[in-house]
Amino acid sequence: MATFLAQFQTIKNSCDHLVIAVEDVSDLWPIVKNGFEERLPFKRACLNNKTRNPVFVEKLTAEFILTRDSRLRSRFPQEQPLFWFREPYAIVVLVTCEDLDEFKTILKPRLKLIVQNDEREWFIVFVSKAHPNDDQATKLAKKVYAKLEVEFSSKKRERCCKLDIHCPEANFWEDLESKIMESIRNTMDRRVQFYEDEIRKLSELRFMPVWNFCNFFILKESLAFLFEMAHLYEDALREYDELELCYLETVNMIVKHRDFGGVDRGDDQAALLNPENKPLTQIVQDESFREFEFRQYMFSCQSKLLFKLNRPLEVASRGYSFIISFSKALALHESILPFCMREVWVITACLDLINATASHYKDGLLAPDIEKEFYRLLGDLYSLCRVKFMRLAYLIGYGIEIERSPVNSASLSMLPWPKPAVWPAVPPDASSEIFAKEKIILQETLRVKHFGIQRKSLPLEPSLLLREANRRRASLSAGNMFEMFEGRPIISDGSGSDASIKMSPLSPPQKVRTSSISRTNSSPGNFESSIDRPMRLAEIYVAADHALQHTISNPDLLKSLSSIEEFEIKYLDLTKGAADNYHRSWWKRHGVVLDGEIAAVCFKHGNIDLAAKSYEKVCALYAGEGWQDLLAEVLPNLAECQKILNDQAGYLSSCVRLLSLDKGLFSTKERQSFQSEVIHLAHSEMKHPVPLDVSSLITFSGNPGPPLELCDGDPGSLSVTVWSGFPDDITLDSLSLTLMATYNGDEGVKALKSSFAIVLKPGRNTITLDLPPQRPGSYVLGVLTGQIGHLRFRSHSFSKGAPADSDDFMIYEKPTRPILKVFKPRALVDLAAAISSALLINEPQWVGIIIRPMNYSLKGAVLHIDTGPGLKIEESHVIEMESYVDVSQSPADMARSDVAHKDGSLAVDKDFEQLRLHDGRIEFPGWANNVTSILWIPVCAISDRLARGSSSVTPQRQSIVDGMRTIALKLEFGVSHNQIFERTLAVHFTEPFHVSTRIADKCNDGTLLLQVIVQSEVKATLTIYDAWLDLQDGFVHTRKGDGRPTSGLTPLIISPHSRAGILFSICLEMSNAEDEAKAPRPDSILNLRYGISGDRTIGAHLPVAVESPGPEGVRQDLIFRSALVLQRPVLDPFLAVGFLPLPSGGLRVGQLVSMKWRVERLRDFEEEEVSKHNDEVMYEVNANSDNWMIAGRKRGHVSVSTKQGSRIVISILCMPLVAGYVRPPQLGLPDVEEANISCNPAGPHLVCVLPPPLSSSFCIPA
C-alpha cells in the first residue's frame, strides 16, 4: 500500500473540496447551472462528526461536476477505496419529460440504470420547462413528476424534487440543498465508517511484523483529509494527533535503526509550518518515515488545521513544546547533524512560529487572560530564539558583545555546548580571519563599571569553550590546556579564567566547574596521543564561523551572523520582541529584565536617555521586591546613565540607593566612592537644588525609654538617635526634624532645627535638638530633613533602635511610640496665703505666702509682688523664706519630708533664707525648687481711720471689707520663665479690739457707769497694760480722775476672740463755760496700751519692727485708740406731740378719716429761740403715698402760744388706700430738734385698715 503514497499525495494536493456529481440526462445543465452554482458554498451545512453527532458547518465548499466530465470519467470505477474522499458525495440526476409515454419507455429505464448502484447517494431533479400560462403543459409536467415520484421516492426517503424553470417554487432551493446535504451526510458517514474499519483492522496488527506505518498513515490521513474537506477540522485534528502519537510510539520503540534525517541542504530551516516542504515519498524509509521531516510534517498539518480553527494560541503553545521536544530529539542525533544544526533549527522554528501565529492573531480574538497567555508564549518563543542566537554568536566570537548580565548568564551558562562528533577544524586559508578574531579578543577589556566597581563577570558559557572544543577534536586531549591559556588574555573570560588558572595539569577534571552539565574530561588514556596542536580560541571562533556558514541556509540568519553590527541588530530585535510580548503577558518580570538588556545595547550606542529609562524600570522592579543582589548589578548602570545625562536628582538618588543597599554587596571602597559622589555633587553648583530622599540611608528614632515629658508651654531638648548608612563621616550643614501630633496630623507638625552643623559618624549618632514650647499632646517623630551643601534631603524612615535592615524596603512603619508628651495646661504651682486670720492693721506684719510647686521645678523662679491700695511692703526689712511643712498633708508626704529632714543637717539649714526685694521681685533660692516653701513678707496695712466703737444705742459693726487688702502676686518660672502664675491674695487686717459701750447704770447722783466692752478681734493673746478714756465734751470723769480704771485691773489678758469689760464712771459736765477755749472734742477716745503675743502663721502677731531682738522683758507696747460716741440723754422736751385715737369704727379702705395730732407746749418757750420763733410751729405730715391719700396741707405753720400748756390739734383728712396693718401718717416738726420733742406713742406704730365694704356696684352682672 505504501506504493500509493505518491499517488495519494497528488490526489490530496489536487482536491480540497467536496464533489457533487451531476447526471445530466436531459441536457439541462446549461440551463440550471447558474442556479445551482449560486448556492455554493453552502451557507450552513449539517454534517455528522466522527462520533455521529450533528455539527453545523459554515460555508461548506463544494463543486458540481458533470458525470461525463473528464475528471470523473478518467477514474476507474473500482478505484481504490483508499481515495474515496475525493469521490462525489452526491449524484444529482437532472431530468425533464413532457410526455408520459416517453417517461415510461425511455426515461424510467434509463433512470433505473443510473440509480441501481446502491452505494451512491442520488436524487432526481425534475425540471419543468412548461410555461405557467400553458395549462396543458403544466398539467402534463405535473403528471410526469407524479409518476416519477411514485417510481423513485419511497416512504423512507424523498428522492425527487421539481424545478419550474419559469417560476421556481419558493422552497425549491432549500429543498435541493437539504437533499444534497442529506446525500453528503450519508456518504460521509459511510466513508468514515469504512476508513475507521480499515484503521481498526490495521491497528490490530500494530505489533505484528507485517505492520506498516505508511499504510496506517495513508488511511489515517485520508480520513483526516475527509474531515478537513468537510470542514470538520476538529475531527481532522484529532486524526492527526492520533497519528502523531502512534508515530512517536513507533519511533521510540526503535525496533530497527532508521535514519533521522535532517542532513539535506536546507534542513536547518525549520519546516514546521510548511507541509509541502518535502514530498512524503522522499522521507519514507522502511515502511515508515524519517523522524526529522515527518514530525515537522505532522506539526505543520496540525497547525494548518488549528489556524483554520482560528486558534493561533494553540499553535503557539503546541509549537513551543514541539520545538523543545524536537530540539531534544535533535540533540540525540547531534553527532550526525551538521554543526549547530540544532540551534539554527530552533531559531528558524521560533521565528516561523512567531510570524505565523502573530499574523493569524487578530486583536480581540481571545479573552484578555487568554490573550496574555498568547503573548507570553510569543515571549517565550522570542526568548528561546534569542538564547540560541546568542549561543551561535558566542561560538563565532561575538561573545564580547553580549552583556554578562544575570539573564544572559542564566540562559547561556546552563545551556550545553553543541556536541558535534568532531569539532569543526580551521579551514586552511583562514589565517587573516584568525588574526582579526585575535585582535578582537585582545582588544576586549573588562568594562569597569561606574564608580570603579569591579565585579567578576558572570559566565556565559557552561564550561570553557577552549577545552570543550579541543576535547571534541578527535586527536586532542585536554592535557595541554595549560599552555593554551597563555596564548589568550585571561580577562576575556571572567569566570572561566579563575578555574583555568587554578587548574594544574595534574588535577584537571576535579577543579572544573560543576555547575553545568556533567562531563568527563579527556581520560589519561589519550593524553599521550596528542599530535595535533590544540586550537586557540580565535581559531575555534573562525572554525565555528565557517562550519555555521556551511550549516545555515537561511540568508537572513547568515546575514545576522556576518558581522557584529548585524548581530546586534538581530539581537536587539529578538530581545525587544521578547520584552514586548512579555510586557503584554502576565510575566512582567521577564519583560522588565529584558528591557535591561535592551538598555545595555542602547547605552553602548550612546542612546543614554532610552537606556536610563529602561534601567529605571529594572531598578524599580528589583527594588520594589527587595532583590538587592540583582539591584546592585543594575543600579550602577543607571547611575552612570544619569550622570552622563546630567540628571543630578536621579544620580544623587541612585547614589543614595546604592549606599543603602546591603553593605555586603559593595566593598567599602566602592561605597566610599558613592558617598564622595554625593558630597561632591552636593557642594558643587547645582542649578536647581534637588530634594533627595535618604530614607533608606539615614534613619532615626527616639531614644529608648519613656518619652520626654513636658508641661504645656515649656521648651526642652529632644535627643534622637540617627543612624547613618554612609560609610564615612558626613557633615550635615543643617538638620531639622518634624514632630507630628498623634491626635491631629495637620496641626501638630512642627520642625525642630539644629542650629549648627552636625557630623554623622557611620552608624549610631545621638543628636540633641532644642524643643520650643509645643501644644499639649503627644508627638511622634515625623520627617528628618537637612542639608548637605546645596542638597536638601529628607528621610521618612524610622529605625527601631537598630541599623535599618537593608531588607526593610517596604516597611516604612510609623513609630507608634510617642517621643514627646506635652501635658495639658495644669496648675504647676500654687500660691496661697499662709494665715487664716486677720493681721493687725497699721502695724508692720508678716504676711506669709505658701509656694507649693506641683511636680514642677521652680528653678530660677521670680515672684513679682504688687501690693494693693492701703498696703505697703516694709522694704527696710528682709523677706524671709523657709521651707514649709504642711500639717494637713498626707502622712506619706509627711514621711517624705521627714526623710528629707533627716537627710542631712545641711539641707535642713538651707531651708531658711533671707531675701531682698528688688523692684518688687524676689528670686527664689535653689533649694525651694521642688519643696513647698513659705515666704514671709513684712507688710503694713495703712488705715487712717480711727477705730470707732459701737454703743448699745447705736449698734454698729465694722465692715470686714474695711480691713481687706490685696497682694497681687505674679510668679515667673519654668525653664525660660515661660510659665506664669498669677494670683491676688486677700489679706485681712483688723484692729486688735472692737470696742462697744453701754451705760451700765445711771446713778441718782448723775453718775453714769460706762461699761466699755473690749472684744479681741485677732487670734492672738492680747494683754492690756493700761486703759484710759479721753471723754468728749459734755462728759467728765467723776471724781476728777484721769480716766483710768482701777489700777488693779491691768494687766488684763484677753484670749483670742474673747471679751473683757472695763467700767468707767463718768458724769455729765455741768458747766461747760470754762471749756470754751478748748478745741471741741466730738468723740470720746478710748486708749489702750497693750501687748500682743501671736503666731504669724496663725494671724496677728508682734509687729515686725518690734520683733527685732532686744533684751528680754523689754516690751514695746502698742497703743490702740478707739473713738466712742457718748450721747447726752434727752432731758428737756418742750413740745409734746400726741396722736389722737382714731374713730372706733376703724379704718376702711376708701373711707375718709381725719387724723389728728395734738401739739402741746410742755414748758415756756424761753430764752434761746425767742428772737427767731415766736409762736409759730412748722409741721409736716409724712405718709407713704402708696398707702395713704392725704387731703389738705401737708406742711404748714400753726401757731402755738409760747405759754406752757398751750395746745393745738392738727387735723388732716386722709384716706387709706390699702387694707392691712400700715404705718399711719406721721406728724413731724422740722424746726424743732428731736431731743426736744416728746412723742406719744414714742416710736412708730401701725394701724389696722379694713378692706372696703362690699358694694353692689361692684357686682358683676351674671
- CB-based contacts of 1251, cutoff 8 Å, min separation 6: 1148, 1149, 1219
Query: What's the closest the beta carbon of residue 491 comes to another protein, in angstroms?
Result: 15
Q: Which of 92, 52, 47, 64 is nearest to 185 (CA)?
A: 47
Judged by beta carbon, residue 624 or residue 1220, the one nearer another protein is: 624
Query: What's the closest the beta carbon of residue 83 comes to another protein, in angstroms?
Result: 41
Judged by beta carbon, residue 624 or residue 772, the one nearer another protein is: 624
Judged by beta carbon, residue 590 or residue 1019, the one nearer another protein is: 590
Stretch in the footprint of another protein (CB under 8 A) among 51-59, 412-420, 673-681, 915-923: 412-420
Residue 1206 CB neighbour total at 10 angstroms: 16
Query: What's the closest the beta carbon of residue 370 comes to another protein, in angstroms?
Result: 8
Dmax (CA) of the chain: 199
| 781 in Cβ contact with 699 (< 8 Å) | no
Give the separation between CA 568 and CA 574, rounded to whole angstroms: 10
- Stated as kind and residue range, the H or E segment containing 140 is helix 135-152
Binding characters for another protein, 536-575, by CB under 8 A (x = yes):
----------------------------------------
Q: Sign of dihedral through CA atoms 259, 264, 267, 271?
A: negative
Give the separation between CA 49 and CA 308, rounded to whole angstroms: 17
Judged by beta carbon, residue 33 or residue 800, the one nearer another protein is: 800
Amino acid letter for position 581: N
Judged by beta carbon, residue 320 or residue 884, the one nearer another protein is: 320
Give the separation between CA 88 and CA 183, rounded to whole angstroms: 10
Take residue 178 and report the three cell numbers written for it: 437539504
- CB-based contacts of 153, cutoff 8 Å, min separation 6: 159, 160
Give the separation between CA 229 and CA 13, rounded to whole angstroms: 12
Among 262, 397, 420, 459, binds another protein (CB under 8 A): 459
Take residue 83 and report the three cell numbers written for it: 481515495
| 695 in Cβ contact with 752 (< 8 Å) | no
Query: What's the closest the beta carbon of residue 272 comes to another protein, in angstroms?
Result: 17
Does 810 engage in binding with another protein (CB under 8 A)? yes
Judged by beta carbon, residue 13 or residue 515, the one nearer another protein is: 515
Give the separation between CA 354 and CA 578, rounded to whole angstroms: 11
Take residue 328 and report the three cell numbers written for it: 531534544
Does 370 engage in binding with another protein (CB under 8 A)? yes
Does 515 engage in binding with another protein (CB under 8 A)? yes
| 834 in Cβ contact with 849 (< 8 Å) | yes
Q: Which of 384, 386, 492, 387 is nearest to 446 (CA)?
A: 492
Identify residues 25-84 at the interface with another protein (CB under 8 A): none
Give the separation between CA 1107 and CA 1094, rounded to whole angstroms: 12
Query: What's the closest the beta carbon of residue 410 comes to another protein, in angstroms?
Result: 4
Residue 1209 forms beta bridges with which residues?
Answer: 1158
Q: Which of 484, 200, 544 is nearest to 344 (CA)?
A: 544
Query: What's the closest the beta carbon of residue 631 comes to another protein, in angstroms?
Result: 10
Among 6, 255, 759, 811, binds another protein (CB under 8 A): 811
- Stated as kind and residue range, the H or E segment containing 239 is helix 233-253
Residue 951 forms beta bridges with which residues?
Answer: 997
Query: What's the closest the beta carbon of residue 696 comes to another protein, in angstroms?
Result: 14
Q: Which of 300, 304, 240 is nearest to 50 (CA)?
A: 240
Q: How far is CA 535 from CA 488, 828, 1055, 1168, in A?
A: 11, 94, 132, 167
Query: What's the closest the beta carbon of residue 456 comes to another protein, in angstroms?
Result: 5
Q: Which of 154, 182, 170 is nearest to 92 (CA)?
A: 182
Among 231, 311, 386, 590, binds another protein (CB under 8 A): 590
Identify residues 308-347 at the interface with another protein (CB under 8 A): 321, 324, 327-328
Query: What's the closest the beta carbon of residue 590 comes to another protein, in angstroms?
Result: 6
Query: What's the closest the beta carbon of residue 266 comes to another protein, in angstroms?
Result: 24
Q: Sign of dihedral through CA atoms 497, 501, 507, 510?
A: negative
Residue with cell 588574555: 489
Q: Are strands 912-915 and 862-867 parallel, antiparallel or unpaired?
A: unpaired
Query: What's the closest the beta carbon of residue 308 comes to another protein, in angstroms?
Result: 24
Query: What's the closest the beta carbon of residue 361 comes to another protein, in angstroms?
Result: 18
Binding characters for another protein, 489-508, by CB under 8 A (x = yes):
------x--xx---------
Does 923 engage in binding with another protein (CB under 8 A)? no
Judged by beta carbon, residue 413 or residue 997, the one nearer another protein is: 413
Query: What's the closest the beta carbon of residue 977 comes to another protein, in angstroms?
Result: 48
Residue with cell 471723754: 1031
Query: What's the closest the beta carbon of residue 797 comes to another protein, in angstroms?
Result: 15
Judged by beta carbon, residue 591 or residue 853, the one nearer another protein is: 591
Judged by beta carbon, residue 376 or residue 657, the one nearer another protein is: 376
Judged by beta carbon, residue 559 or residue 589, the one nearer another protein is: 589
Q: Sign of dihedral through CA atoms 267, 273, 274, 279?
A: positive
Take residue 679 and report the three cell numbers written for it: 558630597
Stretch in the footprint of another protein (CB under 8 A) among 124-132, 511-519, 540-548, 687-695: 511-519
b/e for 813-838, b at 16 or more Cβ within 10 A? eebebbbbbbbeeeebbebebbbebb
Take residue 303 and report the three cell numbers written for it: 497547525
Stretch in the footprint of another protein (CB under 8 A) among 512-520, 967-975, 1188-1196, 1198-1206: 512-520
Binding characters for another protein, 516-535, by CB under 8 A (x = yes):
xxx-----------------
Judged by beta carbon, residue 498 or residue 962, the one nearer another protein is: 498
Among 35, 41, 416, 489, binds another protein (CB under 8 A): 416
Take residue 210 and report the three cell numbers written for it: 507485517
Does 204 engage in binding with another protein (CB under 8 A)? no
* Number of amino acids touching another protein (CB under 8 A): 48
**Residue 457 three-state SS:** coil
Does 593 engage in binding with another protein (CB under 8 A)? yes
Query: What's the closest the beta carbon of residue 24 comes to another protein, in angstroms?
Result: 56
Identify residues 790-809 at the interface with another protein (CB under 8 A): 805, 807-809
Judged by beta carbon, residue 418 or residue 713, the one nearer another protein is: 418
Give the separation between CA 144 and CA 164, rounded to whole angstroms: 13
Query: What's the closest the beta carbon of residue 436 comes to another protein, in angstroms?
Result: 30
Judged by beta carbon, residue 315 or residue 1018, the one nearer another protein is: 315
Identify residues 613-642 at the interface with another protein (CB under 8 A): 622, 625-627, 629-630, 633
Query: What's the closest the beta carbon of residue 622 comes to another protein, in angstroms?
Result: 8
Query: What's the closest the beta carbon of residue 516 comes to another protein, in angstroms?
Result: 7
Give the separation between CA 1184 and CA 371, rounded to whole angstroms: 112
Stretch in the footprint of another protein (CB under 8 A) among 138-146, 268-276, 451-459, 1066-1074: 451-459
Residue 977 CB neighbour total at 10 angstroms: 12
DSSP state of 800: S
Identify residues 826-855 at the interface with another protein (CB under 8 A): none
Contact positions vs another protein (CB under 8 A): 321, 324, 327-328, 369-370, 373, 376, 406-407, 409-411, 413-416, 456, 458-459, 495, 498-499, 513-518, 586-590, 593, 622, 625-627, 629-630, 633, 805, 807-811
